[in-house]
Structure 1
């Protein structure tokens, strides 16, 4: 019996990523598949943070031929963003930079209204804050589109309505459980729209969805719908990641609602140091003498894991830190201090790039153009002459 839960709405317990692959039916990434990504291979790939997928080879083969490819990875705007939210966006930027990929970023404000005890006013304020953080990543405005469900309902809803006809209540319940309201029951059709939108705008091509593993049900449902559609679309491919560890350890994912706080993208250096020193689970010994004699375990040490996931670029440095920690030469407090500084360095760069000014001006270059909208949405009153 499973002692953990992983759904799009709940992650509990110590996650067994191998057992999840059996449950979800995804394939572990091979060394050969990783070699097909642009070089140097991104650290999220070579360190197996992204560890499994579906139809990844189709995406990389098309990219190698110089064909059109796209990436979809989104955000549910229900609060301020923390470190666990942002690394898929930096990975998407890597694919855009290396492959010229289109990047589509849906913000599911409606889904958060259906699933959280929040008003739309609260959700939209988080949406505006989240957009500034997403754009701080540095996406190319010519090849990046932000799509907000309620703001872009003229595009999203007609497609979702069409896709919803291919989705039965039984299929929704089998994948997600019984939805608490009809809005959340309809949302899988909206999510499928997000994942197919680049193809509806730019024509049939491979799309890759790099997401945390808990979001895989959305991809599975979309792939089933895409197979039934009259539109000339391919099933989206998926690249599934492990969760960025929560500071308190225990195999779950970072969250702002944990007893151990998440590290927010707005945190300053001193706040990061305080959170890491006070809350990061240590793989070290109880006292200095014991640590010097027996060493620590970097595989469970959260400060080390944060470095390994994203915040230390150099593999050589990472290996040295692990060796020094195991030998007892590097103390837990020293490892935490090093990790806190690397995270703070990253955040200071991110915060400098965070766009200022009126949000309408900030987001305008990244919105769907009228020509792009016209390719997707039906014109109810166009294409037919008036009759007397």
Structure 2
């Protein structure tokens, strides 16, 4: 009999000690190969080079389009469940990196409606969270000429007609088999909205390769969307995906979450708070005393401070090898490693916060990233919903 998994990974819950190889078998995804890693534009981002993005679905068409200089797009989104922490922005900063390298189109769906189905919070609270999250998203600095931010409730004139079209292609049995028993009919319908998010670049710009860099817990959305695209009722290709491991929580291996007992490092944290959280809460791979650590050394593979640097905050491979070596031989103490990580993270947050402070009013800043009227009409038409007098402004 197959070994039963002792962990849970779904778009709505991540629990247990995750075995990423077994998760690939469960989801039917493929490990990212050395050849695929090498095909990313140089310099290859550490998230790819170090196999944080460790799995994929049909990544080659995207890489071929990058190499050929033809149209290609990236979709990565956000649901406003609360304040953004550093784990939330890793895929967004990665998308910005690829856009800078390749000129990729970037579409960022903002799933404010989904959170009303999932969370026992008021619409007003979700709206307030959305505004704060959007300001952080804008502070990343995407190219407004090549980026579209789509807010489900604000852009319902295009999102809803497309979701209705795609909902016809998704059976309830598929939803149940992929997600489990939904808590409400909103969540039953939401896979059609997610398919809309992932196919929107092609409905606006025409058929082309699309890459979705996401945490592996979000892979079910990609699988359902790829099934919709395979029906060939619409002139779209199946979106490809890059699937990542989870940025570790301060409490130890696992997914960083705003609901964990250990605190998350928020984008709004000042330097003092970052140092306090890392020093107090970051799980250590070192020994129980300085003397023991000098003799036995530490384990960077389980040390959260080292892992945060390795995943995202230190891009220099030689520096990472030096830190690992010194930690293993005991010459680098856990407290010293914590301070190195805290310094890097605080510097990153300082720069992000400065860009955010320089933004103007949200409505003015967001306007340049919104779908144009022509783009809305084009998407609806390609999905079989031509405009009529009721939808004209």
Q: Within 2, Cα distance between the matches of 1:362 and 1:66?
A: 29
After superposition, give the CA deviation of every residue in 1:121-144 in whole Å (9 maximum; x if it has no partner).
111111111111111111000000
Q: Within 1, Cα distance between the matches of 2:184 and 2:140?
A: 35
After superposition, give the CA deviation of every residue in 1:132-166 in whole Å (9 maximum; x if it has no partner).
11111110000000001010000000010000001
Q: Report the CA distance between 1:382 and its aligned residue.
A: 5.5
After superposition, give the CA deviation of every residue in 1:103-130 in whole Å (9 maximum; x if it has no partner).
0000101110001111111111111111
Name the residue aligned to 1:81. Answer: 84
Name the residue aligned to 1:386. Answer: none
- Which moved further from structure 2: 204-213 or 255-264? 255-264
Q: Within 1, Cα distance between the matches of 2:388 and 2:86?
A: 46
- Alignment: residue pair count: 382
> Is 1:261 the equivalent of 2:263?
yes
Name the residue aligned to 1:61. Answer: 64
> Is 1:305 the equivalent of 2:307?
yes
Name the residue aligned to 2:388. Answer: 381
Within 5 A, what are the aligned runs for 1:333-348?
A: 333-348=335-350
Runs of 4+ aligned residues of structure 1 deviating over 4 Å after TM superposition are none
Within 5 A, what are the aligned runs for 1:98-247?
A: 98-247=101-250
Name the residue aligned to 1:274. Answer: 276
Q: Within 2, Cα distance between the matches of 1:381 and 1:223?
A: 30
After superposition, give the CA deviation of every residue in 1:164-188 in whole Å (9 maximum; x if it has no partner).
0010100000000111110110000
Q: Within 2, Cα distance between the matches of 1:28 and 1:347?
A: 32
Q: Report the CA distance between 1:381 and its aligned residue.
A: 2.4
Q: Within 1, Cα distance between the matches of 2:175 and 2:386?
A: 30
Q: Within 2, Cα distance between the matches of 1:138 and 1:49?
A: 23
Q: Within 1, Cα distance between the matches of 2:239 and 2:75?
A: 9
Q: Report the CA distance between 1:380 and its aligned residue.
A: 4.4
Q: Within 1, Cα distance between the matches of 2:140 and 2:48?
A: 19
Name the residue aligned to 1:294. Answer: 296
Question: Could you say what secondary structure the match of 1:371 adopts?
Answer: helix
Q: Within 2, Cα distance between the matches of 1:382 and 1:117?
A: 38
Q: Within 2, Cα distance between the matches of 1:139 and 1:340?
A: 26
TM-score with structure 2 length normalisation? 0.96
Question: Could you say what secondary structure the match of 1:223 adopts?
Answer: helix
Within 5 A, what are the aligned runs for 1:2-17?
A: 2-17=5-20
Q: Within 2, Cα distance between the matches of 1:278 and 1:255?
A: 17
Q: Within 1, Cα distance between the matches of 2:280 and 2:58?
A: 42
Q: Report the CA distance between 1:277 and its aligned residue.
A: 0.3
Question: Could you say what secondary structure the match of 2:268 adopts?
Answer: coil
Q: Within 1, Cα distance between the matches of 2:260 and 2:92?
A: 23
Question: Could you say what secondary structure the match of 1:366 adopts?
Answer: coil
Unaligned runs of 5+ in 1: 384-388
After superposition, give the CA deviation of every residue in 1:329-350 in whole Å (9 maximum; x if it has no partner).
0000000011000000000011
Q: Within 2, Cα distance between the matches of 1:172 and 1:325?
A: 47
- Which moved further from structure 2: 196-205 or 95-104? 95-104
Q: Within 2, Cα distance between the matches of 1:307 and 1:112?
A: 31
Q: Within 1, Cα distance between the matches of 2:148 and 2:26?
A: 33
Q: Within 1, Cα distance between the matches of 2:330 and 2:345?
A: 23
Unaligned runs of 5+ in 2: none
- Which moved further from structure 2: 140-149 or 227-236? 227-236
CA gap 1:233/1:85 in 2 versus in 1, 3 angstroms: same
Name the residue aligned to 1:283. Answer: 285
TM-score with structure 1 length normalisation? 0.97
Question: Could you say what secondary structure the match of 2:106 adopts?
Answer: strand
Q: Within 1, Cα distance between the matches of 2:51 and 2:321?
A: 15
Within 5 A, what are the aligned runs for 1:363-374?
A: 363-374=366-377
